[in-house]
Amino acid sequence: MEIFQNLYLGFSVSLLPTNLLFCFAGVFFGTIVGILPGLGAPTAVALLLPTTFSMSPESALIMMAGIYYGAQYGGSTTAILLNIPGEASSVVTCLDGYQMARKGKAGRALGISAFGSFIGGTLSVVGLMLVGTFLARFALRFGPPEYFGLTFMSLVILNMLAKGSRVKSLISILAGLFIGTIGIDYTSGVPRFNFGTVTLLKGVDLVPVAIGLFGIGEVLTNIDNLRERDIFKPKIKGLLPTRKDWKDSIGPIGRGSLLGFLCGIIPGGGAIISSFVSYMVEKRLSHHPETFGSGAIQGVAGPETANNAATGGAMVPLLSLGIPANSIMALLLGAMMIHGIKPGPFMITEYPQAFWGVVTSMYTGNLILLILNLPLIGLWVRMLNISYRILIPFILLFCLIGAYGIDNDVYDVLIMLIFGGVGYLMRKAGFDPLPLIFAMIICPIMEDNFRVSLLSSRGHFGIFFTHPISAVLIGISFFLLLFPLLPEARKQRERVVKESSDD
């Protein structure tokens, strides 16, 4: 009975005309972002974050969440028609989607992608309601030691799953933790790492850093690889999948929904991993695996369902534990804190309108996306003709306006430009910006709970191991840190034994 009361509360918020408008704006803009290669959902969320300051918290979160799952829808269009993924999570869709388009089946590929995305996104919201509320009740047992253990474990998992070298990921995390400590220490009132400047006394704001890393940095990186795209222009007809298409796709859609939701919950996992896992599972289960890569509809239905289902999964740790699972969730976490909402287990009880408003908006948002994507395929195809050279000046303009509009402070623009250069250099050197922004946002939560724990135990570190939950979380973290070293240590030991026996 309680679940129906919560749904009623959520729909009474999300179906308000204002929130419906922001939901539509979010999914519409997210679709465009997903369609245009070189932008990306993190860039879009970072750019639009300053525009939400005058909104209510519910409207702001509904719109930014819409951008997130809307971009997953849009990414499939370029993957199928251009063989270029609009979003990283649509890389796998290129393998079979583009081949279907070459065979005159572009409409069916786009159709099953839209329906699979709708089903996966909707089922993931059901999972979010069930799992999220359960986790939130469980997390009510958490105190400062448990929260420190949870944040520490999330950083360890992020280090394991981030792109590229684990050493580079660790360096990014440490840099993010350092940036997060800049400003006044609220416990002692002493300035930290402000280098004698008044500007840094307030700390480094999330918005200019995010816009710099994901906006300016992405633009500079794309300028290096700037090239015009040859657009394959098939005749798009027959958007509704046939009965055989549904028969072949219903299994992949069901499995993709489950796999996507579970992968989305894992910090650092999300839509990219879920789409790859779904593709490999479908290829393994198929009676004709040789058809994959040459236009198998299962290779489109499964991954496209999974990457949209991952959006609901990613919301679970954010809304119930206050732990972001990816860069967009990290930006949403920052937006919540800017709007005075403290994410975590108390969010359901203290901010029920925001929690259930966002959850139910994902139902309506997925329906809006289904209605948008099928009739407007022709419009999306025409948008692919827009040159990135035309988009660059507009993106940079929005970056400048967004950074300056926070406090009307020119130093925020300077910080944005500095981190834009940092983001560009990180990409060139093979560093992933996600761990840096993740660690920067989570640093205050981690530090506050660490210091409160030590204050309550009078400086004894044993408090983290006498509390069962925190002890388990920290134990898992150290195991995950040391596990990759075990095979190498074993090889080194065998090498030493062999050399000593030879002597």
- pLDDT, mean over the chain: 78
pLDDT over threshold 80, residue 145: yes
Per residue in 248-292, pLDDT (tens digit) is 888 889 998 888 888 777 665 566 677 777 888 888 888 888 788
Give just the sign of the alpha carbon dihedral 339, 344, 347, 350: negative
Q: How large is the average pLDDT for residues 345-360? A: 80
Quick check: is 396 in a domain? yes
Greater pLDDT, 158 or 486: 158
Band (233; pLDDT cuts 50, 70, 90): low
pLDDT bin (cut points 50, 70, 90) of residue 497 is very low
Tell me how far apart the alpha carbons of residues 264 and 279 are, in angstroms, rounded to a whole number: 16
In a domain, 503, yes or no: no
Q: Are the beta carbons of 286 and 307 closer than 8 angstroms?
A: no
Question: Where is pLDDT greater, at 229 or 395?
Answer: 395
Say which DSSP state 183 is in: E
**What is the average per-residue pLDDT within 43-54?**
76
- Assess whether pLDDT exceeds 70 at residue 20: yes
pLDDT of residue 86: 58
Q: Under a CB-based contact definition with an 8 Å cutoff, are residues 415 and 209 in contact?
A: yes
Of 473, 440, 400, 491, give the one whose Cα is nearest residue 177: 440
Residue 328 lies in a domain: yes
Does the pLDDT at position 452 exceed 80? yes
Taking 70 as the threshold, does the pLDDT of residue 173 lie above it?
yes
In a domain, 240, yes or no: yes
pLDDT at 489: 47
Residue with the larger pLDDT of the pair 156 and 3:
156
Q: Which of 73, 119, 118 is nearest to 377 (CA)?
A: 73
Alpha carbon distance 6, 10 (integer Å): 6
Strand boundaries in 264-353, DSSP class E: none
For residue 352, name the pLDDT band (cuts at 50, 70, 90).
Answer: confident
Q: How far is it, in rounded angstroms, from Cα 14 to Cα 176?
A: 34
pLDDT tens digits, one per residue of 78-106: 777 766 665 666 767 877 887 888 787 87
Range from 27-36, 135-144, 472-481 carrying the lowest mean pLDDT: 135-144
Domain of residue 477 covers 2-223+236-495
Range ranked top by mean pLDDT from 120-124, 194-198, 340-344: 120-124
Pick from 161, 362, 426: which is nearest to 269 by CA? Answer: 161
**Confidence band, pLDDT 50/70/90 cuts, at residue 496:** very low
Range 317-342 average pLDDT: 77
Query: Average pLDDT in the 150-163 region?
Result: 75
Q: Is the pLDDT of residue 421 over 80?
A: yes
**Residue range 413-441: average pLDDT?**
85
Which helix (H) or strand (E) is 184 found in, with range?
A: strand 183-184
* Cβ-based burial of 109 (10 A; exposed 0-12, middle 13-18, buried ≥19): buried
Task: Examine residue 246 and state whether it is found in any structural domain, yes or no.
Answer: yes
Look at residue 26 and tell me if it is in a domain: yes
Please tell me which residue, 134 or 298, carries the higher pLDDT value. Answer: 298
What is the count of structural domains for the chain? Answer: 1
Go through 241-279 and write b for each residue having 16 or more CB atoms within 10 A of its CB, e for each that does not: beeebeebbeebbbbbbbbbbbbbbbbbbbbbbbbbbbb
- Other Cβ atoms less than 10 A from the Cβ of 390: the count is 8
Asked if residue 366 is part of any domain, the answer here is yes
In the predicted model, is pLDDT for residue 345 greater than 70?
Answer: no
Residue 21's pLDDT band (cuts 50, 70, 90): very high
What is the arithmetic mean of pLDDT over 309-316? Answer: 81
Q: What is the mean pLDDT of residues 288-298?
A: 81
User: Does a structural domain hold residue 440?
Assistant: yes
